[in-house]
């Protein structure tokens, strides 16, 4: 076994690898960029080496610097994590040539699976299902019908040069194939000047399901069941779970055996993932193989009890798998939510800055948090937006969903925006809860994006009575202040009005030992909690049921976060509420004559100058943050009055970039 390994990565995955290495008694070396000098993975490792500036290509992607760090520290092996150099065949080969073990598959396997054409040929040779199709140009409608019948309906007729939905038809019959072929050719010629058309099988209501495989250097290869990864936004996974709520045992076995066959075809030695697209009829077809550890590997670990990082290290050191296929069991249900620093209410734009508060849920039974950040740390604009993974495990899928909802309630992030509200909305969406979804769920259910109206609360009265209870706690704390003038002591009332979503809710609050009895809307609620002003989390029970809610005082408002809903409520006397209704409403200033930065980031380009006339749709500026470029365009014809910042400057959200006349 290795005595020392180097982790060629950063963030949560570097911390994750260090955790297992320490469990195995292996010393660890972290590498870091100048932007990551104070990062958590640097602190956790036994040694740390700075390998360059913030830009990835000058640090985490610089092979020669990582190899030099291995040689300087005596690291015998390198774990690449995911992303960066994890699927780079040249990196694996160069390590091998330097006498350093790559904790992953051999370079020839990475190269074979990284080439889309070569991987499909290998998959076909290994008798793995590939999407049926005719990839040569088709000349006549009759030929199109013959090919479509051979593939089996429905089929997709596609223009070779197609894009943006042009030159694409789905056919369910001979008649539709004949007509669709002619339409596609005409449309393709007009749109692209190229009328070549081909046909492939159309997978209806597709799901993205992947099989985890594990192989050693002694010819043993197994599959560790599947992961359901169909909840995606713009092809990025959002929620993953294991097992899939869709597969039956026969399909699971067939997919697993084909994944193993492909892994054996490339002499795969490590953990890897074979990805499939699965149709509504449970037909499945090979997409690609990821020759690395996946972001979502924890859900597999929780249902199998197998530490994938440990076995990657053991296999790289030459160990033989200590279990057979028959010994791999499936225990319960696991789910993972990716916690990203992005603002779901502003089009999921990245959010960077100081992590003022970071309080993940406690890692009690069935709850796991993999993270690479800490409270007070800086979220950099240079790297990926994912800062943590929240993983839960329970006996059933329904219990896993409930456990995840409660864990999301307890996940406190302040200073930067996060996608927790979006994750909570998905956790209570009827289609997700039923398991009846595919890769189109988010696009179909949130076609206009995500806003507060997308997160309806199951029972808004819960928010009303909790706001009333914490207001009562504030006032009774005030009443307990010593030194009050005799005869003029403060005695709080028990009757209030809660203002919420434009409605008034009269409530009566009676303090009890350890809680409150609240009457609202002709119902009585019993709340038990030790919450005190200043606490961010209110743990307790509501009518005997466990409850956790995030609580903040923001001006006159009590801001509550529960089940993905962020609600601002005001609690006051009936007279104060009457007067509040008479207050004028402040109007937001007109910012239409300014171009504002939609996110914090690096201004990479200003495409206009003072005095320039600009037409609607023309590029004004470009901002880069977290591997994402945002192009800002003019919404209407205008004239530039002044450019207030220059390319190369770091911008805050809503900072003015350009003023217009």
What radius of gyration, in Å, describes the C-alpha atoms of the chain? 29
| d(C-alpha 564, C-alpha 90), whole Å | 44
243: which DSSP letter?
S
Closest to 110 (Cα-Cα) out of 292, 273, 237: 292
- Catalytic hit among 58, 288, 310, 618: 288
User: What is the separation, in whole angstroms, between the first and last Cα of the chain?
Assistant: 69
Q: Quick check: 551 and 569 in contact, CB under 8 A?
A: no
Place of tokens 């003023």: 659
446: which DSSP letter?
-
Q: What totals of helices (H) and strands (E) does the chain contain, helices first?
A: 17, 39
Range list of β-strands (E), 291-352: 333-340, 342-343, 349-350
**Token digits for 325?**
């296929």
| d(C-alpha 420, C-alpha 432), whole Å | 16
Angle, alpha carbons 546-552-554 (nearest 5°): 150
Write the CA distances from 213 to 22, 133, 474, integer angstroms. 24, 27, 56
| d(C-alpha 528, C-alpha 73), whole Å | 55
* Active site (annotated) includes residue 288: yes
| d(C-alpha 409, C-alpha 625), whole Å | 28
Continuous segment of H or E residues that includes residue 52: none
**Token digits for 585?**
């409403």
Phi, psi of 58 (to 5 degrees): -100, 0
Could you list the active site residues? 288
């Amino acid at each position: 076994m290795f005595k020392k390994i180097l982790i060629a990565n950063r963030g949560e995955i570097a911390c994750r690898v260090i955790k297992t290495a320490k469990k195995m008694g292996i010393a660890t070396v972290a590498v870091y960029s100048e932007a990551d000098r104070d990062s958590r993975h640097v602190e956790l490792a036994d040694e740390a080496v700075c390998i360059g500036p913030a830009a990835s290509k000058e640090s985490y992607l610089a092979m020669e610097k990582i190899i030099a760090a291995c040689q300087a520290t005596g690291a015998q092996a390198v774990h690449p994590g995911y992303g960066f150099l994890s699927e780079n065949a040249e990196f694996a080969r160069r390590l091998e040539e330097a006498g350093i073990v790559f904790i992953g598959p051999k370079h020839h396997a990475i190269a074979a699976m990284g080439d889309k054409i070569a991987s499909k040929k290998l998959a076909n040779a290994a008798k793995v299902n590939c999407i049926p199709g005719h990839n040569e140009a088709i000349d006549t409608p009759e030929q199109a019908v013959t090919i479509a019948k051979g593939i089996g309906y429905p089929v997709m007729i596609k223009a070779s040069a197609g894009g943006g939905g042009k030159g694409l038809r789905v056919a369910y019959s001979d008649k539709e194939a004949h007509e669709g072929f002619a339409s596609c050719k005409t449309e393709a010629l007009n749109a692209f000047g190229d009328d070549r058309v081909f046909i492939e099988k159309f997978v209806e209501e597709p799901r993205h399901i992947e099989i985890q495989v594990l192989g050693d250097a002694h010819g043993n290869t197994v599959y560790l069941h599947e992961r359901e990864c169909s909840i995606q936004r713009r092809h990025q996974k959002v929620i993953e779970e294991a097992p899939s709520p869709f597969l039956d045992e026969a399909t699971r076995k067939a997919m697993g055996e084909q994944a193993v066959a492909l892994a054996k075809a490339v002499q795969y030695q490590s953990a890897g993932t074979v990805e499939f697209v699965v149709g509504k009829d449970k037909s499945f077809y090979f997409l690609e193989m990821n020759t690395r550890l996946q972001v979502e590997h924890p859900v597999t670990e929780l249902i199998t009890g197998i530490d994938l990082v440990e076995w990657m290290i053991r296999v790289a050191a030459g160990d033989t798998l200590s279990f057979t296929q028959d010994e791999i069991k499936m225990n319960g249900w696991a789910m993972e939510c990716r916690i990203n620093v992005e603002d779901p209410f502003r089009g999921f734009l990245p959010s960077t800055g100081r992590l003022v508060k970071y309080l993940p849920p406690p890692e009690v039974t069935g709850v796991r948090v993999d993270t690479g950040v800490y409270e007070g740390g800086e979220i950099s604009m240079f790297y990926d937006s994912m800062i943590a993974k929240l993983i839960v495990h329970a006996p059933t899928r329904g219990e896993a969903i409930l456990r995840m909802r409660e864990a999301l309630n307890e996940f406190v992030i302040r200073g930067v925006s996060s996608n927790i509200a979006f994750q909570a909305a998905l956790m209570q969406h009827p289609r997700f809860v039923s398991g009846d979804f595919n890769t189109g769920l988010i696009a179909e259910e949130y076609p206009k994006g995500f806003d507060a109206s997308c997160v309806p609360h199951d029972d808004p009265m819960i928010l009303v009575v909790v706001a009333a209870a914490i207001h009562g706690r504030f006032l009774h704390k005030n009443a307990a202040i010593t030194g009050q003038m005799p005869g003029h002591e403060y005695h709080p009332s028990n009757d209030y009005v809660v203002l919420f979503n434009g409605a008034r809710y009269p409530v009566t609050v009676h303090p009890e030992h350890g809680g409150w009895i609240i009457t609202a809307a002709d119902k009585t609620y019993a709340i038990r909690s030790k919450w005190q002003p200043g606490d961010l989390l209110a743990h307790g029970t509501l009518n005997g049921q466990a409850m956790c809610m995030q609580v903040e005082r923001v001006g006159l408002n009590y801001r509550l976060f529960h089940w993905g809903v962020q609600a601002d409520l005001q609690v006051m006397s009936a007279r104060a509420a009457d007067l509040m209704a008479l207050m004028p409403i402040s109007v937001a200033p007109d910012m239409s004559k300014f171009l504002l930065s939609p996110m914090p980031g690096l201004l990479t380009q200003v495409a206009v100058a003072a005095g320039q006339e600009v037409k609607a749709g023309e590029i004004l500026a470009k901002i880069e943050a977290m591997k994402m470029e945002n192009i800002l365009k003019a919404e209407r014809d205008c004239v530039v009055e002044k450019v207030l910042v220059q390319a190369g400057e770091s911008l805050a959200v809503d900072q003015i970039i350009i003023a217009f006349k």
